Structure 1
Amino acid sequence: MKLESIAIQEFKQFSGRIVIDDLQPGLNLFTGPNEAGKSTIAEAVRAVFLERYKASHLKDLLPWGKASGQPSVEVNFNLDGTACRLSKQFVTRQRCELKIGQAVFGEDEAEDKLAALLGFSRAARGPLKAENAGVPGLLWVQQGGTQEVRDSTGHAAQYLRDALSQLSGSSEAAGEDALIAVVQRELRQLLTARTQKATGPLAEAETTLAGLIEERNGLEQQRQQFDENIARLASLQEAFDDTQRKRPWELHEQKAVLAQQRADAAAELERSVQGLAQSLQVSEAELALSLQQEQGAAELEAAVARERLQLDAARGEVAAAQTEHAQAANGVAQFEQAFAGASRALELANAAVTAADLRSQIGLYRTESERLDASIAAAGKANDAVLDASRDAAALELDDVKLKRLITLDRELTVLRARTEAAMTRIEYRLNGALTVDGEPVTGTGVLRVDEEKLIVLGELGELRVIPGVSDLSAQLSELASLEAAHAQLLQALGVASVGDAQARHEQWKALIAQQKSQAKILDVHAPQGIDALRAAHASAAARWQASNERLAGLPDVSAALPLDEARRNAEIARDALEAARKVLAHAAEKRSTGIATAESLAAQLQRKEAQLSDETYRSNRTRWQTKIVEQRVQVDALRKQREGRERELEAVRLDDPAAEATRYRASAELARGEQHERQVRIAQLRSQLETVGASGLGERLATLEARVEQATRRKDELGLRAGALSLLDQVLVDERDAAVAQLRAPLTERLGHYLKRIFPQSSLVLGDDLSPATLDRYGRADTLDALSFGTREQLGILTRLAYADLLKASGRPTLLMLDDAAVHTDAARRDAIKRALIDAATRHQILVFTCHPELWDDLGVRQRAIDDLKVAA
């Protein structure tokens, strides 16, 4: 089968119509970036051949953003030399038509015919499933599925076996004989094909047997529980009767009463210890207060002695500070005199510098005044020239717009006068006598212009009526009169006699304007801000000159002045010395003040403390404190000893913890009573259960179940023996069949080796029962397909499909190969080998290759067809 053209309309991303024609019988290469539409074209080919045209799930074929579209695909192809056309429209107004030669098939008949021709099966309903894709599912590789060859080969295995059988001449049509089919059908009723698990009657028998065994085991457990409950009832009754006789809870209750009495005595003793502790705490607080008062008195005496020494030392420091302060004051007075002399010398030096600056400024001000005098004179002259030029220009100024209009009218008048002169009838005359023209006498020599109808009277000779020959002369004359009136009006408005006078006057005005601008520039150079500003600057310079002279006259005699730097340095040295002396004086004053304040404070504080110590009341209180301390110490010692004795008694009592024992005995009594009550309840429950079970016929039910279990076991064993026999028979028959099929695989193995050696020399590909690749044998090692890398599986997927196509081609099946972005994970060397294999296969099959890497496939020797170019052409 060879595709010749593909027409796609309103299909997914193709909102319009795109036509792909001139398809080559061998290799066809389509290129474009991602989402350009390559996979959409491949999907359109799959849809038109494989999808049911009435399927409701194909709404995703609608054009993007166009819910009312009508997706349709039409292909023209050649089948064994017969021209064929297939067209389908999906989603809305579905239709299907297949034309083979002159025969036309429609609707379901067309789809059945396609399935038979291409080698696939139609899905009963819903979308096309992988297991229905058959040969197209194997040869038409979708994007990203090149490496997935096992499942697609399995789905096409029946068609591949038919092709092998046809090539080998075998009578096997479906790949397995009728006997194997019958045995496997019988076996599948008992065991599943893949996991060999029980199914059908065998699974039902096993389930029934398991249920009966579980029910029997439950009854046996009930019987065993019945026997155990009888023994448990006897044991519980014996324990209940023994406990009822002994009544252990009464003994526990008596012990609890005795323990509670001991606990009450311990609580009383603890309250007594707490009372003693409180009394001891009060006595210790009173003793601490007395000790604190006595300690305060002792500290006061020590402080008085210490402060007497501090006062003597402070008074000595005050005397020394006063001496130091007097010395510092003398030093400050000396440095102030020195600083005053240095300051006067600095002032004189500054006056000398000021005098020099004033002399310099006076020279500058004198020069500036002279310059300003010259500028004022030049500016006045330029200003007068500007005024004269402005006045003269104003007298000659013409309206520029009116002048331009006058020149334009003059030109137009000249042209119109010439045209009118040329159009008028001219009568040149030279008369000896007189005649009248329109009643006016005419004599002598001249030219008579006839611009309108005129009557010439010739006296006795009669009269002549002259009529101008130009039909539009009157209009020209009217226009000429209008222009002459406007021209005269403009001359009058401008105050000139002619255009020449106006132009000459305008030129004089322009010369005056230029002269005015030139003098204005001169004025701007001398007085950029005006003559008044210049005169104000001159007055300011004169005033500064006078002021500087007055300041210079007011300065003292500076002939003996020191240089300014030397005078400034001497003043700074004197100032620094004075500041240092003042700091010393301030420090001495501060030290003296601090010493005096400290001595006075110490004296006042000492006087206050000595007065406190000599006070009679304070002395009598201190005597009372000392006596009270002795008494309180005796009392504290007695209370401490009494408390310690009671604490020892309490500790001895607490060793037994009578309160905890009372609680323990009461809890033990409650537990004993509760256990006895629980025994009584359990005895009643067990008696009720035993009576119920005894009345249910447990033994008879157990015997019946034993019989049913035995019967179900025999049924399950019989079905198991049948399944084992069928499984053994199936294995023997399949082994025999596989031996025969191995002979049929020779053509496929030969084609696989033809392509495989291009990439994997000295290797072989082992096929499974479904003719899909199972292991790759190379270098003495066998690798399963799953153990190979993604790229290697992708390469094997391409090569095996080429071999399957050769096999199908040889058996007369139509073959078309579509590879959507195949060999993506292939290196350059293996890609070259893949290309050689494709070129070889293209001599036998039509191959459509879609890729987004045109630069990797530009050496195939075939034209690359860009999807974008196809869109533009559409």
Structure 2
Amino acid sequence: MKLQSIAIQEFKQFTGRLVIEDLQPGLNLFVGPNEAGKSTIAEAVRSVFLERYKASHLKDLLPWGKASGQPSVEVSFDLDGAACRLSKQFVTRQRCELKIGQAVFGEDEAEDKLAALLGFSRAARGPLKAENAGVPGLLWVQQGGTQEMRDSTGHAAQYLRDALSQLSGSRESAGEDALIAAVQRELRQLLTARTQKSTGPLAEAEVALAALIVERDDLNRQREQFEENIARLAAQQEAFEETERKRPWELHEQKAVLAQQRADAAAELERSVQSLAQTLKVSEAELALSLQQEQAAVEIETAVARERQQLVAARANVSAVETEHAQAASRVAQCEQAFADANRALELANAAVTAADLRSQLGLHRVERERLEAAIGAASEANDALLEAARAAAALEIDETKLKRLSSLDAALSVLRARTEAAMTRIEYRLNGAIMVGDAQISGEGVLRLDEEKLIGLGALGELHVIPGVSDLSARLSELASLEAQHGQLLQALGVASLGEAELRHEQWRALVAQQKSHAKVLEAHAPQGIDALRAALASATARLQTANERLTSLPDVSAAVPLDEARRSADIARDALESARKMLNEAAEKRSTGIAMAESLATQLQRKEAQLNDAAFCQNRARWQAKIVEQRVQVEALTKQREGRERELDAARLDDPAAEAKRYRASAELARQEQHERQVRIAHLRSQLETVGASGLGERLAALDAKVEQATRRKDELSLRAGALSLLDEVLVAERDAAVAQLRAPLTERLGHYLKRIFPQSIIALGDDLSPATLDRYGRADTLDALSFGTREQLGILTRLAYADLLKASGRPTLLMLDDAAVHTDAGRRDAIKRALIDAATRHQILVFTCHPELWDDLGVRQRAIDDIKAAA
């Protein structure tokens, strides 16, 4: 089967119509970025061939944002030399038509025909399931599914077996399969298929035996526990009596009292040490205060000497900065004069520029004023003409609705008059005398029209009674009179004598309206905002002209002005020089102020500190604390020695930690009492257990359970023997069957080897019962497909599908391969091998490849068809 064209309309992201023509019989490559529509095209092909056209679940095929769309797909293809066309429309106005050569199939018949040709089965209802996809499900690979082989091969297994049988001339024995299936059914009742674990009656027998053994073991443990409890009771009773005789807790309590006495003595010694430490701390603090006071006095003496030197230096610095300040003030005065001169030159240069600008503005204002005067004249003429045309049009205006009604009535009257004239009795006469027609006398020549019955008197000859031949003439005359009355009323309402005069007035009115529009356009061109706006603009232009003249007159004489740029440069230089001089003056002033303030501050501080050192009270206090320092140092040393002696005594008392010893002995006494109590409780509990178990008939229950265990063991052994025999029979039958199947699978194995050697040389692939790849043997190591990397499974998926296609092609099945973003996880070397395999397979099959990596597939020797280009051409 070779696709020739694909037409997709209102299908998912394709809201319009997309046509793909000129498909090649071999390799076709479609490229485009993600979400360009590659997978949508592949899905459209799957849908038109596989999905039921009446399926109600296909609403997701509707075009995006167009709930009322009609998704449809049409494909043209060649099948064994016959031209075929298939078209389906989904969701709304569902239809299906298949044309093969001259034969046409419709609706369900077409879908059954497709399923038989392509090798799949129709779903009874709902969406197409994987198990129905058959051969297309195997060869049409969806995005991300290249590595998945087992399910798709299993669903196409029957079609592959039929092809193998046709090619090898051998068939699998249905009888052998039935026997194997029967043996396996019996075996599966006892053992599971994959893990060979017990199931059914065998598992039940094993569970029952295990439960009985557990129960028997439990009773044995109870018996052993009973015997152990008797021994434990005797031991506990003996221990209880021995402990009651020795009473060890009393000895622990005596030791605890002695240890507590030593702990109390150590605590008293610790309090003495703490008291000495506190006294020493106070003495040390008093000594530190005295030393701090003396240190402060020494620091004041040092500061006085230092600050005398600093005061001399500060006064010298004040003299220097005053000189610097005077020089800076002189420099500022010079720069201010230069800056004023430069500003006057800059103002004159600016005035010269302003004068030039004003002269230019005067010329522009004059031109604008002249333009506005001309526009006002032309607009006034157009406005007058517009008003005159409006007045004339108002005089001639006619109601167009009434005019149309008059025209309609005039046409109806013409027709009705002609019909009435034709219906009247017409009598032409030439009389030598006179006759009476009704009450009127007629003579001479003429035509007499009678619209009703008339009596014509002929004198001596008698009379004629004339009756018109049309029965409804009176009704026509009545209708004619009504229409003539309406016609007259419309003429009177319109103020005209006839329809021609009314139409002439209407034409004149339309001409005047056209003139109005023409004059209005002229007026709008000259005065888009009205003549008053033009006049206001003219007044503004005149005022601006006068203002510019006045400003030009008020400017000074600029003949001596220098160029503006030169004046600006001079002003900038003068300003920078002034700012620099002022900055230097500020810095000098700041230095002078700082120097004076520092000198004054140093003099004040020096005076204050000298006064403090010379104060009599300060000198007396200093002598007193210097004497006190000596006394305090002696006291601190004595207290330190006394505290160290007490601490050594305390360390000796703490050596065996009497408090911990007292606590330990009290805890030991409590534990001894508690253990004796617990021993008494255990004795009571053991006696209670022994009395309970002794009355339960433990021996009789053990004997009964032993008999049940023996019976359950025989049942389990019988079922295990049966399972072993069935398993051996299954192995023998499967081995015989596999030998026959090996001959049947030879064509498929040969095609798999043809492609496999391109990527995996010296390798063998083993097939499962469903003809899907099971293991890959490379260099003596067999790996299951699940153990292989994702990329390797993806590559095997492509190559095995090519082999399946060759097999189906050889057996006469139509083949078409679609690969949507395959070989994504493949390195460059293996990708080249896959390309060579595709090019080889393309000589036998049509292959559609969709990819978002055009740069990786540009060396196939086929044209890359960009999805965006296809959409642009649609």
TM-score (norm 2): 0.57
Q: Secondary structure at the match of 2:442?
A: strand
Residue ranges of structure 1 left out of the alignment (5+ in a row): 1-12, 43-134, 141-146, 158-191, 764-787, 798-823, 840-848, 857-874
User: Counterpart of 1:381 in structure 2: which amino acid?
Assistant: E
Tell me if structure 1 keeps the 8 A contact 2:123–2:129.
no
Between the aligned partners of 2:117 and 2:591, the Cα distance in structure 1 is: 115
User: Counterpart of 2:521 in structure 1: which amino acid?
Assistant: K
Between the aligned partners of 1:468 and 1:791, the Cα distance in structure 2 is: 109
User: Counterpart of 2:394 in structure 1: which amino acid?
Assistant: A
Residue ranges of structure 2 left out of the alignment (5+ in a row): 1-56, 58-107, 133-173, 191-200, 750-763, 774-796, 820-874
Report what 1:151 is aligned to: 184
Report what 1:488 is aligned to: 488
1:758 aligns with 2:744: yes
Distance 1:608 1:467, change over 3 A: farther
Report what 2:573 is aligned to: 573
Tell me if structure 1 keeps the 8 A contact 2:176–2:737.
no
Aligned-residue offset at 1:752 = 6.6
Report what 2:194 is aligned to: none
Aligned-residue offset at 1:36 = 6.0
Q: Deviation digits for residues 196-239 of structure 1, max 9, x if unmatched?
A: 99999xx99x999999998997898789x49x959x98899789
1:469 aligns with 2:508: no
Between the aligned partners of 2:296 and 2:632, the Cα distance in structure 1 is: 18
- 1:31 paired residue among 94, 105, 121: 121
Correspondence 1:314-393 to 2 at 5 A: 314-393=314-393
Report what 1:271 is aligned to: 271
1:584 aligns with 2:617: no
Aligned-residue offset at 1:472 = 1.4
1:409 aligns with 2:385: no
Distance 1:324 1:481, change over 3 A: same
Q: Secondary structure at the match of 1:482?
A: helix
Between the aligned partners of 2:572 and 2:669, the Cα distance in structure 1 is: 110
Tell me if structure 1 keeps the 8 A contact 2:237–2:683.
no
Report what 2:428 is aligned to: 428
User: Counterpart of 2:649 in structure 1: which amino acid?
Assistant: E
Distance 1:307 1:541, change over 3 A: same
Between the aligned partners of 2:683 and 2:458, the Cα distance in structure 1 is: 179
Correspondence 1:263-662 to 2 at 5 A: 263-661=263-661
Q: Secondary structure at the match of 1:426?
A: strand
Aligned-residue offset at 1:411 = 1.6
Q: Secondary structure at the match of 1:31?
A: coil
User: Counterpart of 2:275 in structure 1: which amino acid?
Assistant: G
Between the aligned partners of 2:219 and 2:505, the Cα distance in structure 1 is: 142
Aligned-residue offset at 1:318 = 2.7
Tell me if structure 1 keeps the 8 A contact 2:311–2:603.
yes
Tell me if structure 2 keeps the 8 A contact 1:237–1:683.
no
Between the aligned partners of 1:364 and 1:391, the Cα distance in structure 2 is: 40
Distance 1:790 1:400, change over 3 A: same
Q: Secondary structure at the match of 1:558?
A: coil
RMSD between aligned residues = 5.9
Tell me if structure 2 keeps the 8 A contact 1:527–1:534.
yes
Between the aligned partners of 1:156 and 1:660, the Cα distance in structure 2 is: 74
Q: Deviation digits for residues 497-542 of structure 1, max 9, x if unmatched?
A: 2222222222222222223322222222222222222222222111
Correspondence 1:773-792 to 2 at 5 A: 791-792=767-768
Distance 1:466 1:829, change over 3 A: closer
Correspondence 1:660-679 to 2 at 5 A: 660-661=660-661
Q: Deviation digits for residues 303-343 of structure 1, max 9, x if unmatched?
A: 23333333333333333222222222221111111111111
Q: Secondary structure at the match of 1:452?
A: coil
User: Counterpart of 1:456 in structure 2: which amino acid?
Assistant: I
Q: Secondary structure at the match of 1:757?
A: helix
Q: Secondary structure at the match of 2:441?
A: strand
Q: Deviation digits for residues 797-844 of structure 1, max 9, x if unmatched?
A: 9xxxxxxxxxxxxxxxxxxxxxxxxxx9995699699989999xxxxx
Aligned-residue offset at 1:853 = 11
Tell me if structure 2 keeps the 8 A contact 1:389–1:516.
yes
Q: Deviation digits for residues 90-128 of structure 1, max 9, x if unmatched?
A: xxxxxxxxxxxxxxxxxxxxxxxxxxxxxxxxxxxxxxx
Aligned-residue offset at 1:555 = 0.9
Between the aligned partners of 1:679 and 1:411, the Cα distance in structure 2 is: 134
User: Counterpart of 2:185 in structure 1: which amino acid?
Assistant: S
TM-score (norm 1): 0.57
Between the two proteins, what is the percent identity of the paired residues? 58
Q: Deviation digits for residues 472-496 of structure 1, max 9, x if unmatched?
A: 1111111111121122222222222
Q: Deviation digits for residues 48-95 of structure 1, max 9, x if unmatched?
A: xxxxxxxxxxxxxxxxxxxxxxxxxxxxxxxxxxxxxxxxxxxxxxxx
Between the aligned partners of 2:618 and 2:661, the Cα distance in structure 1 is: 61
Q: Secondary structure at the match of 2:744?
A: coil
Aligned-residue offset at 1:420 = 1.3
Q: Secondary structure at the match of 1:434?
A: strand
User: Counterpart of 1:281 in structure 2: which amino acid?
Assistant: K
Correspondence 1:744-823 to 2 at 5 A: 753-759=739-745, 791-795=767-771
Q: Deviation digits for residues 387-419 of structure 1, max 9, x if unmatched?
A: 222222222222212222222222222221111
Q: Secondary structure at the match of 2:579?
A: helix
Q: Secondary structure at the match of 2:426?
A: strand
Between the aligned partners of 1:265 and 1:444, the Cα distance in structure 2 is: 182
Tell me if structure 2 keeps the 8 A contact 1:332–1:581.
yes
Correspondence 1:205-224 to 2 at 5 A: none
Tell me if structure 1 keeps the 8 A contact 2:187–2:727.
no
Q: Secondary structure at the match of 1:557?
A: coil
Aligned-residue offset at 1:461 = 3.9
User: Counterpart of 2:580 in structure 1: which amino acid?
Assistant: A
Aligned-residue offset at 1:375 = 2.0
- Residues 207-216 or 565-574, more deviating: 207-216
Correspondence 1:849-868 to 2 at 5 A: none
Between the aligned partners of 1:507 and 1:378, the Cα distance in structure 2 is: 28
Q: Deviation digits for residues 325-366 of structure 1, max 9, x if unmatched?
A: 222222111111111111111111111111111111111111
